[in-house]
A and B are shown apart, each in its own frame.
Chain A
Amino acid sequence: MAATAQVASLAADVISTPEESLWRVVLRRFSRHRLAMISCAAIVVIFVLSLFARQIAPFKPDQLAVGHYFLPPGAVEEKTGLTHYVGTDNIGRDYFSRLVYAGRISLTVAVVTTAISILIGVTVGAFAGYYGGWLDSVLMRAVEFLATIPILPLLLIISAMLLRNEEAIPIPKFMLEVMGTVMLLSPNDARQALLIILVLAALGWINDARLMRGTILSLREQTFVEAARSLGASDAQIILKHMLPNAMAPIIVNASLNLSGFIVTEAALSFLGFGIQDPIPTWGNMLAATQQFMFDRPWLPLVPGLPIVLCSLAFNYIGDGLRDALDPRLKL
């Protein structure tokens, strides 16, 4: 009886104290992380630039200015009076416009890949953690395998295989059209970007699944889950309503780190010639294509390199800030 009274008074306390909502607390803690806030601003700028690529870029990304090869930064085209802010590349395409369009493609690839890998990873991880069984052991073997094998060669092989016969891989037409609209590409070019997304997501989801599995495993033993079960909640209810909200912190932090990782990996694949191919601009393949000219025009490879570095660092810092804000004890 005394215990009940105590619980009641505790509950009354909790109810009567004005409480900040969880997200407000997170936001407050996050805003204290100065580097993360700066990173957020940088990311917003880059996203806005890419979102308004069509309005901001003075030229079309694949528009050739015959004869105007290697124009210096700031050169003005006489006919139209438009400025080549960073000059033109070796076949006379406006470098700045390509950069902006490339941002749209590189960022879309990273964001979509992250979304796909979270979706798959969370589902598989939740099932594996909750039910165990063969899915769990397969998942753990895959995790172990990936922890030992160097990832880059694997990605290179997969993408070499996929890109070699792009046309044979069935991708629904509407998906190509949607992706094409998002990335400002023709449906045919969007196919390449989609394949790269698939390549990256093929190995990318596993880390999310591992994290999710671990969290679910520890949550399974918690009393609130037991309570839910004793109240007759179904498995689906327990996983979706009770466990998932509690398991999201590491996933959110990891998503931010993934964004950085996917941007760099996509750039690396494109840089090595196994990613998105040249007429389509991405930061990675622009860098690769202009590396040979760096002796005379060092800005050509540096300019597309900067946004890669910037995005990579910014997403890393945001991840850091999110980790501090969501759960300081979290270790990834």
Chain B
Amino acid sequence: MTTYLVRRLIQMLGVVLLSAIASYLLLNFAPGGPLSGIRQLQQQNNRMRLTAEDFARIRAYFELDLDLPVRFTRWLVGQPRGPLVIAGQSFLGDMVVGCRQPIEENFETGPGEFETRVVGCAQAVQLKDLEGRRVSNGVLFGDFGLSWTILRDRPVADLLLTRLPKTLQLMGLSTVLALIIAIPLGVYSAVHQYSRFDYTITTLAFLGSAMPTFFFGISFILLFSILPKSAGLPYLPPGSSEAVRAYTLPWFGTIQPDTWLDVLLHLILPVTVVTIVSVAGFSRFVRASMLEVLRQDYVRTARAKGLLERVVIARHALRNALIPFITVFVFALPGIFGGAIITESIFSWPGMGRLFLLALQSSDYPVAMAMLFITALLTVVATLLSDLMYTMVDPRIRLS
């Protein structure tokens, strides 16, 4: 068991490292990047004149003056921060790790088409220049660096932490609700296979998983907030997680912002949408797995022993049917962190999903990378968790 765990942990570290590298490369090789906006602005209007020195400073701010491997290790583990110091003596201080001012020249690639290429370096960055430069402690140690655009120069972690509670609220609540609803539904329709109830549930689950989330969202806003409001009935707030100012609902009276009632009212619509979508998936899964188990010999044995049908289903069938469900559920965990991107953006819910969108829209790469990295980490942890849980609930499975 211990060796298994150690091996798994080493594997996990490898996977996390790989995903960190992959996400970093994806975002850094992506053309565009933080400087493209400035370049475009400069080309478009000549009023904004940046000197070469300004440009170099901006490049240094984004660490774009460093070579990719150096930049990456600084991002990942916060090193190198300066010359190598061994026993009071510094080494490799002159090593070139980047270029402060590249020499660019325009080449004609075709008739009328030009391409700017870097042909040399006017001023190199050496390892000793890195001393005293601002650097994060490294993503591996939980420091995601500073945000570039959304909250400029504030730690990414702060940004994530302000959004996390809202997402946990939304996703946690809907996941719990989905479980409470989906398991009985799935069990009931499996036990009464081909009954009218089963057909209804199967059809609804089918609709729920085939319908796009944004359509659910929009029709719910229409049904529960616009129509009732115009009819003078109490309506649900269509967006955001709490009101900005006090508002009046028929029957409820005036509701102050940030009271529990206000929060509750704002939660209902997004939670319902996320819940419906999860219930659709979960209940289909529970039904299939329950049908599988009900056909087993031990269920027949339990029935033959004369046990009550209720006991057979709850004790003998359900407990076994839920084993494969563990995987499905555990893999939903990274989603709880990552939030529901579409639902959050329909209901303008200030959670992680919308933060991710915002980060991509405004090229705030540190934020986007942090979120990708955490999701990857959670996924890996979830995999381990589900494997361990399997051994706990199913003694037939041995880890080796």
Contact = CB atoms under 8 A, between A and B. Distances in A.
Q: Do A and B come from one complex?
A: yes
Given A156-B356, A313-B211, 5 more contacts: A260-B210, A271-B214, A302-B219, A305-B212, A312-B210
B182 interface: no
B341 A313 contact: no
A44 interface: no
A275 B214 CA distance: 15
Interface of B: 26-27, 30-32, 36, 206-207, 210-215, 218-219, 221-222, 226, 238, 331, 334-335, 338, 341-342, 345-346, 356-357, 360-361, 368, 371-372, 375-376, 379, 382-383
A293 to B, nearest CB: 11
A298 B222 CA distance: 7
Overall SS of chain B's interface: helix
Interface residues of A, number: 35
Nearest to B30: A161
Interface in A293-332: 294-295, 298, 301-302, 305, 308-309, 312-313, 316
A305 B357 contact: no
Contact of B335 (A150, A302, A312): A150
Contacts of A135: none
B221 A161 contact: no
A84 to B, nearest CB: 22
Given A153-B341, A160-B360, A308-B215, A168 B372 contact: no
B379 A156 contact: no
Contact of B356 (A148, A153, A302): A153
Interface in A14-67: none
B212 A264 contact: yes
B338 A150 contact: yes
20 contacts: A149-B376, A153-B371, A153-B372, A156-B360, A157-B368, A160-B30, A264-B212, A268-B342, A271-B345, A272-B341, A294-B221, A294-B226, A298-B226, A301-B218, A302-B218, A305-B214, A305-B215, A308-B212, A312-B211, A313-B207
B341 A157 contact: no
B316 to A, nearest CB: 25
Contact of A150 (B36, B334, B346, B357): B334
B212 A309 contact: yes
Contacts of A308: 212, 215
B342 A152 contact: yes
A165 B31 contact: yes
A309 B379 CA distance: 31
A144 to B, nearest CB: 9
A309 B36 CA distance: 38
B267 to A, nearest CB: 20
A156 B359 CA distance: 11
Given A150-B334, A313-B211, A161 B32 contact: yes
A7 to B, nearest CB: 36
A313 B209 CA distance: 9
Rank and list the top 8 A-B pairs by shortest CB-CB distance, nearest first. A164-B32, A161-B30, A165-B31, A316-B210, A264-B212, A305-B215, A160-B360, A148-B379
Contact of B31 (A152, A168, A272, A291): A168
A309 B208 CA distance: 11
A267 interface: yes
B21 to A, nearest CB: 14
Contacts of B226: 294-295, 298
Interface string A218-261: 00000000000000000000000000000000000000000010
B160 to A, nearest CB: 14
Contact of A291 (B218, B335, B375, B376): B218
A273 B31 contact: no
A264 B277 CA distance: 14
A313 to B, nearest CB: 5
A245 B36 CA distance: 51
Given A152-B341, A302-B219, A164 B211 contact: no
B199 to A, nearest CB: 12
Contact of A148 (B26, B36, B219, B331): B331
Contacts of A294: 218, 221-222, 226
A95 interface: no
A33 B30 CA distance: 47
A33 to B, nearest CB: 13
B269 to A, nearest CB: 14
B342 A272 contact: yes
A147 B26 CA distance: 20
A129 B90 CA distance: 56
A308 to B, nearest CB: 6
B215 A309 contact: yes
Nearest to A160: B360
A268 B222 contact: no
A88 B218 CA distance: 20
Contacts of A305: 212, 214-215, 218-219
A153 B375 contact: yes
B338 A149 contact: no
A89 to B, nearest CB: 16
Nearest to B338: A150
B321 to A, nearest CB: 17
B139 to A, nearest CB: 17
A287 interface: yes
Nearest to A274: B360
B212 A312 contact: yes
Interface string A111-146: 000000000000000000000000000000000000
Contacts of B338: 150, 153
Contact of A267 (B214, B219, B222, B375): B214
Contacts of A152: 341-342
A312 B331 CA distance: 25
Nearest to A144: B383
Given A148-B331, A150-B334, A313-B207, A302 B342 contact: no
Contacts of A302: 218-219, 222
Contacts of B335: 150
Interface in A275-296: 287, 291, 294-295
A157 B214 contact: no
